[in-house]
Every structure is written in structure tokens, then in C-alpha cells.
Amino acid sequence: DMLCTTHYIRKSVLKELVLADLQRVTSYVKEHEQEFIETANECSAKAVQKTLTQQRKELDKAQNRINELNILFRKLYEDNALGKLSDEQ
């Protein structure tokens, strides 16, 4: 059986790791700027498309519900007008 022990990392070591990673990324971007821009634009376009698709689904659902309510209100009005439903109902 292995016991779980507490682990820690010093703040200075963490800063060095983060700085090294940032330098690696910025170096890549400098060397492959156009590719990076295209990739970033593609990711952005995909995110926009996903959001748009979700919003279209929500709009369709809301429009369907409005149509259902319009039908219900029309039927209730007609039933009331024809005396099938009292004003209280």
C-alpha cells in the first residue's frame, strides 16, 4: 500500500515553468505567424458557428411554442365566443 502524501511546488519554480511555456508559445507564433493567425481564426469561426447553431435551435423552439400558444388562445377564444366556455372559465 502506498500512502498519499502532500505535494507542493515553490512559487519561483512555477513562475519559471509558466515563463518558459510562454516563451515557447510566443516563439512559435513569431516563427509561424500566418499559420497561427489562420488557426486562431478557424477556432474563432467554429466557436461562432457553434453559438449560432445553438441560438437557432433556441429560436426555433421559442417560435414553435408561440405557435402552440396562438393555437390554444384561438381555440379558447372561439370556444368562449360560441358559448362552449363561460367567461369565468
pLDDT value for 34: 94
Q: Which amino acid is at 2?
A: M
The pLDDT value given to residue 28 = 92
Q: What angle do CA 31, 35, 40 make, to 5 degrees?
A: 115
Q: Is the pLDDT of residue 9 over 70?
A: yes
Q: How is residue 85 annotated by DSSP?
A: S
Stretch 7-19: mean pLDDT: 88
Percent of the chain, pLDDT > 70? 94
Q: Is the pTM of this model over 0.75?
A: no
Per-residue pLDDT, 8: 76
Q: Is the pLDDT of residue 36 over 80?
A: yes
65 is written with which cell numbers?
Answer: 411554442
Distance CA 86, CA 79 (A): 9
> What pLDDT, on a 0 to 100 scale, did the predictor assign at position 69?
96
* Every domain of the chain and the residues it spans: 60-88
DSSP character for 3?
P
Write down the pLDDT at residue 86.
Answer: 86
